[in-house]
Each structure stands twice: as structure tokens, then as C-alpha cells.
Structure 1
């Protein structure tokens, strides 16, 4: 089999790269002697090395007693040339330089280098790149760079499905999860319903709609049938491996251990593992919420200006106005002015001239205070019952999750929960009762499921703790007997 692929190209001619490559191959060959031919560092190894070097360089430039914020600031000021490209930050984000890709043509177990491609220079021959020529290759096409060998020795691009013989009476079997409990685990993504009118089942949900949108973009007709599957997600992946199914469409999390059974399409939804707990209104914050309407600096400036205006008016009025001769009367005057409730008459025009602009400023400040306070009071201040996972582990608390998903194994093997403390919950509707009855103190969902849960039960629950990054939702494919994997990156266009 042969195909054209692209991989990022690093500055492999530099002295630092050659030194790193020599050390990398030496250590890699010592640990994995049987894989010596694959011991060249990939772009991910170069990026990992650059990340470690950037942190080490920032630590060297920082004082010994530097705080984490000072070290972070030093890292953001980095501006150097790494093995994977220029390292420079803007707004705490690494600036992405225009990548350069090496196009290779895989033929069987070997490959041939075809060209170099970049957004600026377009295609250029591999040999010319090393010679430093970069001015005459912007208009080159793949045809000018030589032939590409496709499966079967063809030099023309395969047309996909039309290049295979198939039986229209035997469409592809696409598995979908048929959840047994009424209400389902999260049937917003895949829901199998039975229709007595047609004496059969029909499938709906977000994941199914994404799959159908992808199929419509294919340049050929793809006959398939959605087959309900009763079992866990891992069981369905194994069915794809054993050729009981050609593929599966569901909210399947892309996990490393599942790659031994099948391959995945490009992720169509980002995901991660998150904790959901009960939440109560934070009464302490509600009592002092009015202080949050302005910043501390604004409060101090307002108080200082009010005191200053009162003192100036006292200097002007105390000789002629018997109502403002004592300090207490002036202080009371300063307070009542804030509410436009002052009754002490001013006898000097100079006092009125000083007070008039301040009254206008007070009007603006009062309106801003009222608007900010109203906005804050409409937003509930919730305090999660459990703030982190360490608290759950330390107290041997019970947690809940979908019993048919990978989360059970993740909680045990990665986060360190005891199996006896994990409650398997089949339906989204059972979680509130489990919280209410004290059966669980927290629930773990993938982020899309957590958002669905909070949208349905928004009162009294909140997400908390860190999000453990995962591979995202993807479709499962058996590449050994499903010849259309190449078309599934079309999902990037959705």
C-alpha cells in the first residue's frame, strides 16, 4: 500500500540538531535495540526538548528565590531558536510559525521523499531545500516533482469507493449503542428508538447527525445500515476488531488502549474528564457582594474624595454657617450628600461651586453601583461541596460514573479510586437521586456529557476540579477491512 503523507520538517542541518540527534539515537538504541531503524527523533521529541530547554533557561535567568509567577514571566519572555522552530510568546500563547512539511510517498514497507511544502514557498524539490534555493519553486506543482505511486502501482489518484467492487445488497454495518435503561445514559448523542409503524428501529442524536453530514460530503455513495448493539463501548470496539461490525458511530472516547482493536477517525468533539458535585449558595459572599461592585482602589478614591469635599466645604462655611461649625456636622453632611439627603443650607457661592461637580459625579457613581449590584445579585454564588479529587480519595468517598464507559477503569488505574467506592450508574436521570440519597459525593463525566447533565439539572450542581485531557469523540473504524479511512478527515471541514 502507498500513500502521500506530510510531516513537519525541522532544521536538521544545524549543529544543535545534529548533537541532539546523536544523543537521542544513542539512548533510544540502548533502550529499544530492536527498533534502531526508527530511532530518529520525531517532531514531538523536538518540541518536548524545546519545552524542557525553555524552562531550564528561564530558571537559570531567574533568581534562586523566584516565585512561580516570576518564573512564568521569565518563560514568556523567551525568544530563541529551538530545534522545532522559533520559541516566542504573545499573550501567554506560543506564536505559531508557518510550518514546513516533508511530503513522502509510502510504498509498501519503504518510502521515497517527494518534496518540501510550506505555505509561503509551496512545493519545492527535496534536494533544492538543502542547497538553500528558495526563490523559484513557488509555482511548482506535484506533477513537476515526479510521480506518486498509489495502491496497486497506480500513478493516478484512486476514486475511493468507485475503485472497489461491492454488493449493494450488503451495506456496511455501522454499530450504534442501544442503551437498555429508559432515558439512556446520554441519548442526546445516540438514541435508538423502536417504531411500530415500520416494525423496526431508527437512530437519532448528535453523533449520528455528524456521521450523516460527513457521508454527504463524500464524492461517492456509501451504502450503510445502522445496527443497534447491546453492550459496553469496549465490547463494541472489539466487535469492530472481530469484523462483526465495519465501524461504529457513537460518543466513543479516543483512548490509547482501544487502538489495539481498531482505528479512529479525526475527533469531531473535544473532550476531557471532569468532576460534577453538588453546590450550595455561598452565603458569606452574598452578604458582602456589594463590596465587589467596585475595586478596592475605586472605593478608596470615592471615600477620600468625599472626605476631601466635606473638609473643603467646612473651610469655606465654618466662619459664616453655624450648621457646619463642628466636625460631626461636617461628617454627617458628607454622608447625606451621597444620598442627596443633606438639609444643611450652603451660604457661600464658592461652596456651591465646589459641591455641584461632586454631586454630578455621585449621580454617575450611584448609577454604576446600582447596575453592578443588580447584575451580581442575579448570578448565584455557588460553593462546590467538594473542591478537589484528593478530598474524595482521603475520605474514601463514593463516586458515580457511567458503568458502560472507560471511566470506571480510568478512576481505578489513573486517579487511584478503590473499586468498592465506584458506583456504576446507567441513566442520566439516576444521578440526582444518587446525590440526594448520599450514595455518591461526586460524579465523573466526559466534558460533553457533563454539559448535557448540567443543562438538564442546572440547579444545585456544578463542575469543579481539573479537567483531565482526553482524545475527544471519534468514530471507530477497522482499517483492515474498511478501505475508506482516508475520507474521514473530511470531518475537519464540519
Structure 2
């Protein structure tokens, strides 16, 4: 019986457990999780598109395996864009119409980030982009850029170029990128680091292979062999096949790829075509999570075909994995805590609640700390710098935000700012430098001049059948070339016609550079704004500005000594002289016999004591000496001012060209005429053109009244050259910084411009430019000796008002002190007399009155 009871109990227990399991399973599977639709637009034909797609599936699986009790489930709808931007845009619009809860856009999407942001903002649907870049995300809170910003990558690219001391690069991009303005950041950071973009090749995505080769042939003819490439993978693959076939992946070339170009190239064949290039790659910190995800991905998707033959996950894949976790957590939080019908309804209220959950979600993800701050996902703080080799990629360093180029990501005392050894195109381990192509000569245009040949002239060598350039400009140019770290062979080509005469103006000569007939122009070429539109100038190697020279004339004016002082100053000084003399007489007369006597004697003493310093020893009163001291100071100041002004009038032969309507000369065929008329306010009828220093001297010697000129206005180098020959008879009387000096002109974007500019700066610091000036200007000091100060002003009362105020106050105080003393003395005498009368001592009073005159004689201040 007991066994039967046990049997029945066991049977009942098993039946109960089975029933419990049945109802539990039935409840689990009958319970339907709320699905949340997520649209995913990718190019499933690319290896990176497939990788991101697989990572999204793994992320969703991992999330719900850990959080199986969640009541919501993300369901992805994959749309294949086939790499077509228009098809991708159409897919975005279709999915938004279907009320998907969120969108994921693949890394190969080349659509404008602003357009995508506008669509997401209008639909109020969160959009996670792995490709499209957005300048400012504050205005579009529903658009989340998971990839790095263009500004950050541009900063890293500029720093990488700067680390090799390259000052000029060529840029190759897709025309859609160029027109969209995405590259504005790159140009901005290049400009900050004084890096010039010599040439920009914007290629259409529809360009033929022949068109690509034509563009590359044009780039090959240029001196700059440093290239930065930013374009889509399909176009980049075609580009580098042509680059390899044309021999542009050889020694002397350098190629820098942005992440957009590098991130899509995984073919071993393409790697071989790009061997030696440098590329920027977003840095994802290594971790156990990343290692496990990579192993799982390789295990589960190893049969996906050749696209899966990669060694590591792309950063886009890792960012997509973390973003799915964040989105799934936000969807569950919004559903269970605030809005249970989130998956069924897509009202504006439910979308706002989802956004709030997204913003407050925090995740310690594989890519690092994943959080949304100010509507921006900040994931990237560093780039890897990788060297493309035959086997794939090799890390050679990092660019870290706030640190710059470094050999290790953790900037410690052991890390350095140097990259590891780089294998450049052609197998070289030495960074390419700007160098002139072998076998090519620099064609230099030379103007034909008949005057001022000390600057530039031509000499034909019959034996070698070559043209030589002589003069100051040619010497500076050749000295600058010698300062370069490489040799540049040059060929001088005169700008003359069949008769050996000049073919045109200097502007015509410079335009030949734009027409690619010359590589450069050397001569007395002035930098102007309109010329800089079609050529690039180096820094000037001469003084800037223009000067005015005139003939030194002997001044025969017998009354010139009266000109330094104005009439008002003479009158005030005379009045002050008389007042001073009177005050001194008033103080000294009672007790100084020199100031007593007849009227004529007193007048003579008054003025002589003021005029001659020797009379100061005869003054007895301290008040008189004080007044004389003030007068002497005033006289010394006036005398020194008068002497200086008179000396200037005697040495400076200044002319008033504009005010007197004088004629002014300038150099023929020079833009100085325009500068004179616009900046110096001379009328056209007063201007006279001359073509040589000899004509300058002849016109100045005649003067305006005899058909010549009273002044010549020309650029400072010409002024120096003229004064080196005629300095005793002529002087520069004025100057103005209205021109920019002489410079060497090159083709637009020529890398020689910064190199020659640095060489000119070095020549100036070392004194080489001064030495060359002394060589061609026989008397270089003549300019300094003959350059005169501005015309002195006539001395007037206004300039000495304070001095006369001090003198007048001093006279008043001295006069007041003397009068006060006299009054006080009289009062003392009267008081004594009253006291004597009151005491009845008449005899003593009479005796005092008799001696009172003597008392005056002995009373001193």
C-alpha cells in the first residue's frame, strides 16, 4: 500500500511539473514581444556594408540573449542601396513614410549630412549615420553622427602633412565632395599651418578611365608629388589602378588617404596598387570585448565570401554594435516606464519620450564610453596612422586630440612625436621631399630693359648659345636657388620679339606664366593685387613703398633767419622781456645802487641786467635772482628751438609739389603713375613720364618752369639706384608705403614659392641682400645721408604757451612778495611811532625819524 501511495505521489508530481512547464512555455510563446522597426540602409555589395550588417545582427542577438525578459524587440529592415546615393535617399524617404522607429545609415553613404538631418528632424525619427557628416548637430537633435567629424579628420590630416614639413600638396577628391563644402575644414586647417594646396583635381564619379589618366598626367607634370585623396571607394579603386600603371606609385611620390578612402579598400589587389601610401584610420581601443566580438564574427560569417577575408572589424562595425545596444535599451525604457504603446503608435509624444531615453542612456561599450552629449555622439578621440603594405596595413603612429602626432596612443615620457619607419612608394624609407623633376629646367622669363640695368639685363653667350641674366634681381634669385636643398637647373628666356625688342608690359610678361609658357619671371617685378590673380609671388626682397627725389638747391634768402619764428611769438617774447626787466628793477631799486641814479641810467640798467647773464652777479635780492632764473630757462628753450628750426631750414630743400602746381616725373610703363594719381593726389596734367636715370637728372635740373619737373616719384629700389649715381646733387624728401616691393613670380600653386620665400628671408638675415645691394649700388649710404626730415614748422606761441604761463606766474609771485614785504615794513614803523608818542619820549621819536632814511637803505629781502 505504501509503495502504491509513493507511486501515485510520484506520478502526480511529475504530471504537475509537466503541466507547469507546459503552461510556462505556452505563456512564454503566447506572449508576443512588442516589435520596434528599425530601417537599415547599406551597400550589401561592399565588404564594409556586409560587416556592419552582420554586427547589427550580432548586437541585437547579444542584447536580447542577456535581456531576454525585455518586452520589446528591435526588428531590422535591411535595404540594399547598391552604392547608389539616389537609391539610398529614396530608401530613407520610403522608410520614414512607413513609420519606422529609427534609421541606421551605412558608412558608404555619400549623402549630405545636412539633408539627412533635415529629413530626420521633420519626421522626428532618430537617425544614426555612419557616413554622412554634419557641421553642427545642435540644430538637429534627431540626427546622431556615429562616425568621426570631418573637422577632426581634417585637423589630423593637416598635422600629418606638417610633420613631414611639406608646405604644398595636391588634392584629389570627388566633385560631389568638393561642391558640398565638406572639405572646408581641411582647407581651413591647412591654411592655419601655412600649407598650400597647389592643385585640386575634382573628379566626377562618372569619369572614364581615360579621363582619370589625363588628370594624373597633368599632376605628373607639376613639381609637387604629395597627394591627399578623399573620395568614394569605387572611384578610389579606379584611381589607384591608373596611378600604379602611370608609375606614380614610385620613389619620390607620397599619398595620404582619408578614412573615407581607406575604409572601403580591402582587396589584396588594391592593396598592392596602393603600397606605400599613408592613411588615417579611426582608433578603437583594444579590449577583451572587442577581441571576443571579432572572433565570434569571424566564426559566424567566415563563409560569406571573399568580402569577409579581413583580420579585424572596422570602426563603423563597432560603433554600429554599440548604437544598437543603446537604442534597444532606450526602446525598452520608453516602453515599460512611460509609454507602453511605443511599438504600436508613432505619435509625436512617443517619439519625444524615446528621445529622452536615448539622451540619458549610458553604455560602457566596445568603442568606449557611449553617451549622447549636446545631441552629439562623441566616440573618437584619436586616429591611427597606418602604412599600406602588400600584406595589408601596418600601424606607424597616432594622431591624438589635444596631443598631435605621437608614436604611442598614451602620451607618456617614453613616447615621441616621431612616427615609426614608413615604407614609402618605391620601397624608400626616406620621406619624399619637394624636388625639381630630373631632366627638366625651370624656364624663367626675363624682361628686356634699356634703363636701370643694374636690376636686370641680358647677356647672350655665343659659345654656349645661352642667355645669361645679370643684375641685382638675378643675383638674388640665383642665391635663393642655391640655398635650397636640391638643385634646380634654370633656363633664362628673354621676353622679346623677333627684332629683339620687348614684347609688352610687365603684366603681359607675367601673364605668360598663367599661359604656362614660363615657370617663373625674374626681374624688377612689383607685387600688385591684379597680378596676384594669375601668379603666385614670393615675399619681397627689396624695400617697399615709393619715394620722392628732388634737386638740392642753394638757398640765397638773406632773411631766412626770420622765418623760424612767428610774429606772435616775437611779440609775446618782447612783452615778457620788458615785464621781467621792470619787476627786477622794482625789487632791486630800494637797496641796490646799480638801479639808482638818473632816469636814463635806470633804464639802461634795467634792460642790460636782463639781456646779459653777467649782470646776474650784481643782483642783491633773492627774489630778483629767482625772476632771473626763470627768464634764463625761458630764453634757453626758445634759443634751442630757434636754432634747430633754422638749421632744418638751412639744410632741407623741401618742395611743395602739389601746392605749387609743380610737374612730377615717374618711370615710363610703370604702375607708379596710377599709385601717384590715386594715393598722392596729383593731377594727370602735372605728371611727366621718363625712362632712365639720366632723363630723371635732366628733368630735375631744368625744373618745372623750364619744361622739366621739380620731383620724381618712383619705387624705393629705383630711388636707391638713382641716388647711387647722383647723390651730391639730389635728395629724397618724402616716402610712402604705397607699393609692395619687388618679388619673384611663379605659377599658381608652385611649391617653389614657399621654398624661395624662406630662402629670401634667410638671405636677409645673413646680410646677403645688403651685400648684393652694395655690389650693384655704388653708394648705398647716399640714400640714408640724403633722406631728409619733413619741413620744419614755424615756431608760434601755441607751442610755448605753458612756458609763458609758468614765467608769468613766477613774475606775479615775485612782485606780490616784494609789495607784501614793503607794506609789512611800513606798518611796523607806524606801530613804533605810536608807541613812542604814547610813552612821551619825543626825543627818541625825533631821533628815529632822522635815521629812518638810513633804515630804508639797510632793509633787504
TM norm structure 1 = 0.54
1:234 maps to which of 507, 513, 521: 507
Check if 1:127 corresponds to 2:398.
no
Contact 1:254 1:264 in 2 (8 A): yes
* CA–CA distance in structure 2, aligned partners of residues 483 and 125 of structure 1: 26
Contact 2:547 2:732 in 1 (8 A): no
Deviation, structure 1 residue 316: 3.7
2:544 maps to which of 251, 271, 278: 271
* CA–CA distance in structure 2, aligned partners of residues 262 and 320 of structure 1: 85
2:812 matched residue in structure 1: none
Contact 1:234 1:406 in 2 (8 A): no
Distance 1:345-1:365 versus aligned 2 partners, 3 A rule: closer
SS of structure 1 residue aligned to 2:418: helix
Deviation, structure 1 residue 460: 5.9
For residues 268-347 of structure 1, the aligned pairs below 5 Å read 268-274=541-547, 276=549, 286-288=560-562, 291=565, 312-318=587-593, 322=597, 327-338=602-613, 340=614, 346=618
SS of structure 1 residue aligned to 2:696: helix
Deviation, structure 1 residue 469: 2.7
Distance 1:477-1:334 versus aligned 2 partners, 3 A rule: same
Q: Relative to total residues, which structure has the larger helix share, 1 or 2?
A: 2
Give per-residue Cα distances to partners, 1:69-114, cap 9 Å, x unaligned. xxxxxxxxxxxxxxxxxxxxxxxxxxxxxxx956879654769799
Give per-residue Cα distances to partners, 1:111-136, cap 9 Å, x unaligned. 97999xxxxxxxx9773389xxxxx8
Q: Relative to total residues, which structure has the larger strand share, 1 or 2?
A: 1
1:78 matched residue in structure 2: none
Q: Which moved more, 1:220-229 or 1:484-493?
A: 220-229
Distance 1:364-1:267 versus aligned 2 partners, 3 A rule: same
* CA–CA distance in structure 2, aligned partners of residues 262 and 434 of structure 1: 36
* CA–CA distance in structure 2, aligned partners of residues 149 and 462 of structure 1: 60
Contact 2:580 2:610 in 1 (8 A): no
SS of structure 2 residue aligned to 1:211: helix
- Choose between structure 1 and 2 for higher RCO, CA contacts under 8 A separated by at least 6 residues: 1
* CA–CA distance in structure 2, aligned partners of residues 270 and 159 of structure 1: 32
Contact 2:589 2:595 in 1 (8 A): no
Distance 1:301-1:426 versus aligned 2 partners, 3 A rule: same
SS of structure 1 residue aligned to 2:521: strand
1:189 matched residue in structure 2: 455
Check if 1:428 corresponds to 2:667.
no
Distance 1:336-1:421 versus aligned 2 partners, 3 A rule: closer
**Count of aligned positions:** 374
Give per-residue Cα distances to partners, 1:122-160, cap 9 Å, x unaligned. xx9773389xxxxx899986536x999999999954333
* CA–CA distance in structure 2, aligned partners of residues 151 and 315 of structure 1: 109
2:434 maps to which of 154, 160, 165: 160
Contact 2:658 2:682 in 1 (8 A): no
2:851 matched residue in structure 1: none
Deviation, structure 1 residue 427: 0.5
1:467 maps to which of 725, 736, 746: 736
Distance 1:212-1:312 versus aligned 2 partners, 3 A rule: farther
2:328 matched residue in structure 1: none
Q: Which has the larger radius of gyration?
A: 2
**RMSD of equivalent CA atoms:** 6.0
1:492 maps to which of 749, 761, 775: 761
For residues 41-80 of structure 1, the aligned pairs below 5 Å read none
For residues 108-123 of structure 1, the aligned pairs below 5 Å read 108=228
TM norm structure 2 = 0.34
Deviation, structure 1 residue 219: 1.6
1:383 maps to which of 654, 657, 682: 654
Q: Which moved more, 1:213-222 or 1:419-428?
A: 419-428
For residues 473-484 of structure 1, the aligned pairs below 5 Å read 473-479=742-748, 484=752
* CA–CA distance in structure 2, aligned partners of residues 333 and 223 of structure 1: 84
Deviation, structure 1 residue 216: 2.8
Check if 1:224 corresponds to 2:490.
yes
Contact 2:564 2:645 in 1 (8 A): no
Give per-residue Cα distances to partners, 1:7-64, cap 9 Å, x unaligned. xxxxxxxxxxxxxxxxxxxxxxxxxxx8977989x99xxxxxxxxxxxxxxxxxxxxx
Deviation, structure 1 residue 172: 3.0
Structure 1 regions of 5+ residues with no counterpart?
7-33, 44-99, 116-123, 131-135
Contact 1:274 1:445 in 2 (8 A): yes
Distance 1:140-1:454 versus aligned 2 partners, 3 A rule: farther
Contact 2:581 2:606 in 1 (8 A): no
Contact 2:581 2:607 in 1 (8 A): no
Check if 1:261 corresponds to 2:534.
yes
For residues 77-88 of structure 1, the aligned pairs below 5 Å read none
For residues 441-460 of structure 1, the aligned pairs below 5 Å read 443-454=712-723, 456=726, 459=729
Contact 1:311 1:330 in 2 (8 A): no
Q: Which moved more, 1:404-413 or 1:426-435?
A: 404-413
* CA–CA distance in structure 2, aligned partners of residues 255 and 410 of structure 1: 11
Contact 1:4 1:105 in 2 (8 A): no
1:50 matched residue in structure 2: none
Give per-residue Cα distances to partners, 1:427-450, cap 9 Å, x unaligned. 022123334242556543123323
For residues 172-211 of structure 1, the aligned pairs below 5 Å read 172-180=442-450, 184=451, 186-192=452-458, 203-211=469-477
Distance 1:258-1:314 versus aligned 2 partners, 3 A rule: same
Check if 1:402 corresponds to 2:667.
yes
SS of structure 1 residue aligned to 2:401: helix
